[in-house]
């Protein structure tokens, strides 16, 4: 895929990516840097949608969630993603990018509900669409939401932003001899038990023949290089 600019992509951002060096919450300098890179990609004319997690906010109350009913805790996490989505929308606005937030949970006074035809129209109008509240169901992660929304939006690729610059044969932080893959098949990832996404999300992407690009969100310019089809990160393909 090198040298080919994708026309429609979905970016999966973890909530932790917004923390910077903070213990939890949103680091202002970090979100500004990220939105600068997202804005640069959006201004290329690429149709961009984003699924964002809520671990950075929910982490602040995580000790209090111990022993809590799993479904209740998951709904709290979904609401945390709505907070992150609104923060990201506001930051993008400051960079001249029009973004719309659609939530899988109905919070009409705050954000729009998720409506697929409307989301598709926003993408065609070159607006960034931020999908919040995961799938709207407990027991499913925002990784699964990214795979689901990516399939529904007909994206060409899911860009999974992480803290490392791709997929390695082992944890590079623990094993300095770990090998980085530039391309790897879904079957190889399964066989070698490499962690890319949770099992449900991974299976959905594989079944829909939806490739995944794993790259570092902390590496300057990596997002632009990845969406422009340059040699960046690791491509997981069928």
* pLDDT by position in tens, the chain (length 238): 445 589 999 999 999 888 888 888 898 999 999 999 999 999 999 999 999 999 888 766 666 667 788 899 899 999 999 999 999 999 999 999 999 999 999 999 999 999 999 999 999 999 999 999 999 999 999 999 999 999 999 999 999 999 889 999 888 888 889 999 999 999 898 888 888 888 899 899 999 999 999 999 889 999 999 999 888 999 999 8
Q: Quick one: DSSP state of residue 220?
A: T
Three-state secondary-structure class, residue 60: helix
- 171 is known to lie in a ligand binding site: yes
Question: Rounded to the nearest 5°, which phi and psi values hold at 147?
Answer: -65, -45
- 139 is known to lie in a ligand binding site: yes
- 6 is known to lie in a ligand binding site: no
C-beta neighbour count of 106 within 10 angstroms: 13
Two tokens at 124? Answer: 């065609």
- 235 is known to lie in a ligand binding site: no
Strand-pair partners of 49: 10, 129
Q: Which domains does the chain have, with CATH numbers?
A: 8-237 (3.40.1160.10)
Q: Of 125, 123, 21, 144, whose CA–CA distance to 81 is shortest?
A: 144
- 81 is known to lie in a ligand binding site: no
What is the C-alpha to C-alpha distance for residues 90 and 80, in angstroms, rounded to an integer? 16
pTM: 0.93
């Amino acid at each position: 895929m090198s040298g080919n600019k994708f026309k429609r992509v979905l970016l999966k951002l973890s909530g932790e990516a917004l923390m910077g060096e903070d213990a939890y919450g949103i680091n202002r300098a970090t979100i500004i840097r990220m939105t600068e890179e997202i804005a640069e990609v959006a201004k290329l004319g690429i149709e961009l949608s984003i699924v964002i997690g809520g671990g950075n906010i929910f982490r602040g109350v995580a000790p209090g969630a111990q022993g809590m009913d799993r479904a209740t805790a998951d709904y709290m996490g979904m609401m945390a993603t709505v907070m992150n989505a609104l923060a990201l929308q506001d930051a993008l606005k400051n960079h001249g990018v029009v973004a719309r937030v659609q939530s899988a949970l109905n919070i009409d006074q705050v954000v729009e509900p998720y409506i697929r035809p409307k989301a598709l129209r926003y993408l065609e109008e070159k607006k960034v669409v931020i999908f919040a509240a995961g799938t709207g169901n407990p027991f499913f992660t925002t990784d699964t939401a990214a795979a689901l929304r990516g399939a529904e939006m007909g994206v060409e690729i899911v860009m999974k932003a992480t803290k490392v610059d791709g997929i390695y044969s082992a944890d590079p932080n623990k094993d300095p001899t770990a090998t980085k893959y530039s391309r790897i098949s879904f079957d190889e990832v399964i066989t070698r038990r490499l962690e890319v996404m949770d099992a449900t999300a991974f299976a959905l992407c594989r079944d829909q023949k939806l490739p995944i690009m794993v790259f570092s969100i902390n590496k300057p310019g990596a997002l632009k290089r990845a969406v422009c089809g340059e040699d960046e990160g690791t491509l997981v393909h069928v």
